[in-house]
A and B are shown apart, each in its own frame.
Chain A
Amino acid sequence: MKLLNYTLFWLSSILIVTVSAWAILFYYQLLNEVKNTIDEGLASYKISLIANLKNNPQLINRETPGNQNYFLRLIPAEKALQIRDSYIDTLIYSEIKNIPEPRRVLTTAFVADDLYYELKIVSQELDRKELIAKIAGLIMWLYLFLLVTIVVVNNFVLKKTWKPFYNLLAFLRDFRLGESVPQKPEKIKISEFSVLNDTIYKMINANIDTFTSQKHFIENASHELQTPLAIAINKLELLAGSTSLAEAHIAKIGDIIQMLQRLAKLNKALLLISKIENRQFVNTGKINFNEIFKQVLSDFSDYVEFRNIKIHYSVNANWVYNLNRQLAEILVRNLVKNAIFHNYKGGEVFISLFAGGFTVENTSHGPALNPGELFKRFSKIKNKTESTGLGLAIVKAIANVSGCSVSYQYKTQNRHTFKISS
């Protein structure tokens, strides 16, 4: 939920409760006020009516009053003396409307010519339903009006207030270490946001410094280590080419070159892990893994043919994942290479691509591997001395930085399965 909508939701919820409570209070207060006014009206009408009746006795003797404003009844003196003025709400049958209507009635008594009368004066109709409806209607309008006000306030005032916050948010969302250059934050009037901006700016700069120095270290290490290795390898190549050497010596030189090449490979793999862990592979995009697998499998096709390995490639659903293309290729290549390399001649490899990842499964004479050790650096399988022992560590590093998980499973029939899933 967006901040603006969230505020709006809570403000309108609180408002509906307060406005409703206010409406109820208002209704009773108003009703009371209306009754008081009616009662006062009835009381003054009573005084003039009694005076009128006393002056015109013929009105008293009329059986039915001309209108329904009042009712007269002759009562005994002792009963009349007990009557005090009282106001009550009652229902009186309306001949016009044919239904009982709520009215306010004043009951009083008076004496005229030594005769005691009970007088009931009926007020004008008091329609509570209508009153409630009117009030409810007005309150509704008030509520809507307040709501509109809040929306307007939210959109104009709050948006303006939170603008630096949203700017910061947009900046952080688009920020990529190694790609983006942070701008020095502008001065903001609101001190909280100003502090937030400055803190984040400092933190990002510290991060960039670490990232850059690490990146330079990796580049320098690469340069400083690879150059002497390159010189040594190439010098040995030249030496082996000189005609005066015996075959046995050339073979020895070949061994040394191979060792140096292993060293170079190891160095390259370690630097690759450092680069991955330093998150130097920044350009990510939607990677179509079906494409990558096709490419890698075609790259290895000669080797696969040579080892007489049968590849079963099935695509249940294509997996498209946000990743750096190079990393995706390294990931797939390492797993496919392992599946082919740690296989026997005439073995099988099963690759299955599904909506949330893929599995690479291979046959092997080897026993189940220890999943706890497998992904660690330099965890090697005995008698495979040519391997660097870093292939799966690289896979793990890629999975870690890209938010995938990698798991290993050993099945019967000597099947080893590696699964990558998002």
Chain B
Amino acid sequence: MKILVIEDEPEMTGLIKQFLEDENYKVETAGNFKSGLDKIVSYDYDCILLDIMLPGGNGLDLLHELKKLKKADTVIIISAKDSIDDKVKGLDLGADDYLTKPFHLAELNARIKSVIRRKKMDGHQFLEVENLKVDLDERVALVNNQPLELNRKELDILVFLMMNKNRITRKAAIAENIWGDYIDQANDFDFIYSQIKNLRKKLRNHGARVEILTVYGMGYKLTSK
């Protein structure tokens, strides 16, 4: 899997690169409009992370160029501009998603996986950790190929944790992923705890060899037992 990060802030580029490489992606970077355009023209990527404000041009123009080339690369716009206009324009131009800075790395990870999955329409996509398997198209969880009864929210949380397995996933990131941006105003994520509690119980009862650890002061982490 190859990912291109087009972002003018070197610190930002560096940490996204580090994070994605940990996730076993091949990562290339471009720091301005021109080098971004060169890379887009010359190579194919599975996913492009695109900043809108770039030295030498607007990221949306780059997106326009990409679509003119009829490339199948998926694009996620990452912008500090929390502007609905840009969001709408970006999605109209064919971006697959739009993420506003600051974002959680766990969220970025999940979004990249989702857009790549959506583009690849070849057969069922599974997430697998030990004997736990989630069919993302059918939206069912299986332990040892036996179905695990989960409600919608529990499944969403499980998928999000599995996408970020062995990483600390912050409560705020889970809340925003499952309930949407507005929930960051709720200020109190303890209510996620009750969902996690149910999820843990169900996983344990079905003999899944994964566990959801609590990381004090941060959130949760899904690991193999």
> Which residues of A are in contact with B by a Cβ distance under 8 Å?
219, 222-223, 226-227, 229-231, 233-235, 237-238, 240-241, 247, 250-255, 257-258, 260-261, 264-265, 268, 271, 299-300, 302-303, 306-307, 326, 333-334, 337, 340-341, 386-387, 391
**In chain B between 178 and 208, which residues have their CB closer than 8 angstroms to a CB of chain A?**
179-180, 182-188, 190-191, 194-195
For A307, the chain B residues whose CB sits under 8 A away are 191
Determine the residue in chain B with the shortest Cβ distance to A252.
B217
Interface presence of B41 (CB below 8 A) = no
Given A231-B12, A306-B191, verify A241-B167 contact (CB < 8 Å): yes
Inside 8 A of A255's CB, which chain B residues have their CB?
A: 217
Say whether B153 faces chain A, with CB atoms less than 8 Å apart. yes
Q: Which of the residues B102, B153, B168, B180 comes within 8 Å of A234, measured between beta carbons?
A: B102
Q: Are A247 and B105 in contact (CB under 8 A)?
A: no
Does the CB pair B186–A341 fall under 8 Å? Answer: yes
Asked if B194 contacts A306 (CB within 8 A), the reply is yes
B81–A237 contact, CB under 8 A? Answer: no
B53: interface (CB < 8 Å): yes
Considering the complex, give the chain B residue whose CB is closest to the CB of A178. Answer: B85
Pick from A247, A254, A261: contact of B102, CB under 8 Å: A261
Instruction: Assess the A237–B80 pair: CB atoms within 8 A.
Output: no
Q: How far is the CA of A238 from the CA of B102 in the complex (A)?
A: 14
Chain B interface size range? 35 or more
Who on chain B is nearest to A340 by CB?
B186
Contact of A229 with B102 in the complex, beta carbons under 8 Å: yes
Interface pair B184/A265, CB less than 8 Å apart: yes
Q: Are A230 and B182 in contact (CB under 8 A)?
A: no
> Would A230 and B102 count as touching, CB distance under 8 A?
yes
Docked Cα-Cα span, A241 to B21, in Å, equals 14
* Residues on A with beta carbons closer than 8 Å to the beta carbon of B146: none
B15 near A387 with CB under 8 A, answer no
Total CB contacts across the A-B interface at under 8 A: 117
B residues in contact with A326, CB < 8 Å: 84
Which residues between 149 and 193 of chain B lie within 8 Å of chain A, taking CB atoms? 153, 167-168, 170, 172, 179-180, 182-188, 190-191
The CB with the most chain A CB atoms within 10 A, among B16, B104, B191, B217, is that of B217
A257 and B170 contact, Cβ closer than 8 Å, known pairs A230-B103, A303-B183: yes
Of the residues A222, A233, A334, contact of B80 by C-beta under 8 Å: A222
Contact A238 B105 (CB under 8 A): yes
**A341 to B18 CA separation, bound complex (whole angstroms):** 38
Does the CB pair B168–A240 fall under 8 Å? yes
The reply to whether the CB of B139 lies closer than 8 angstroms to some CB of chain A is no
Q: When chains A and B are docked, how far (Å) is the Cα of A308 from the Cα of B215?
A: 26
Contact between A235 and B15, CB atoms less than 8 A apart: yes
When each residue 36-56 of chain B gets 1 if its CB lies under 8 Å from chain A and 0 otherwise, what string results?
000000000000000001000
Q: Which residues of A contact B102 (CB under 8 A)?
A: 226, 229-230, 233-234, 260-261, 264
**Is A234's CB under 8 angstroms from B187's CB?**
no
Select from chain B the residue with minimum beta-carbon distance to A306.
Answer: B191
Q: For the complex formed, measure the closest distance between the CB of B18 and the CB atoms of chain A, giving whole angstroms.
A: 6
Query: A300 to chain B: which residues have CB within 8 Å?
Result: 186
A-B contact pairs, 12 of them (CB 8 A): A219-B81, A223-B80, A227-B12, A229-B102, A230-B12, A233-B102, A233-B104, A254-B216, A299-B180, A300-B186, A303-B179, A303-B183
Q: Are B182 and A227 in contact (CB under 8 A)?
A: no
A268 to B184, CA, bound (A): 12
Nearest CB of A to B55, in Å = 13
Chain A minimum-CB-distance residue to B218: A254
A237 touches which of B153, B170, B195, B217 (Cβ 8 Å): B170
20 new A-B contacts, CB < 8 A, other than A223-B81, A303-B183, are A219-B83, A223-B80, A226-B100, A227-B101, A234-B104, A235-B11, A237-B104, A240-B218, A250-B168, A251-B218, A253-B218, A254-B219, A261-B172, A268-B82, A271-B82, A299-B182, A307-B191, A333-B185, A334-B185, A386-B188
* Chain A, residue nearest B153 (CB): A302
Contact call B80/A226, Cβ cutoff below 8 A: yes
Min Cβ gap A379→B in Å is 17
Q: In this assembly, does B19 line the interface, its C-beta being within 8 Å of a C-beta of chain A?
A: yes
| B186 / chain A contacts, CB cutoff of 8 Å | 300, 303, 337, 340-341
Tell me the complex Cα distance, A241–B83, Å: 31
Per the bound structure, the CA–CA distance linking A80 and B219 in Å amounts to: 137
Q: For the complex, is B137 an interface residue (Cβ under 8 Å from A)? A: no
Complex: A299 Cα to B180 Cα, angstroms: 8
Min Cβ gap A390→B in Å is 10
| Distance of A251 Cα from B188 Cα, bound (Å) | 17
Q: How far is the CB of A364 from chain B (nearest CB, A)?
A: 15
Interface positions of B from 109 to 138, Cβ below 8 Å from A? none
> Does B61 have its Cβ within 8 Å of any Cβ on chain A?
no
Q: Which residue of B lies closest to A255 (CB)?
A: B217
Closest CB of chain A to B212's CB: distance in Å? 16
Q: Which residues of B contact A235 (CB under 8 A)?
A: 11, 15
B104 CB, min distance to chain A CBs, angstroms? 7
Check B9 for interface membership: any CB of A closer than 8 A. Answer: yes
Find chain B residues with CB under 8 A from A306 CB.
Answer: 190-191, 194
Q: B188 near A250 (CB under 8 angstroms)? A: no
Q: How far is the CA of A257 from the CA of B104 in the complex (A)?
A: 10
**Residue-wise interface mask of B (86-117) relative to A, using a CB-CB cutoff of 8 A (1 in contact, 0 not):** 00000000000000111111100000000000
Whole-angstrom distance between the Cβ of B9 and the nearest chain A Cβ: 6
Tell which of B80, B83, B167 has the most Cβ of chain A within 10 Å: B80
CA A222 to CA B102, docked complex, whole Å: 11
Chain A min CB distance to B185 (Å): 5
- Once the chains are docked, how many angstroms separate the CA of A240 from the CA of B164? 14
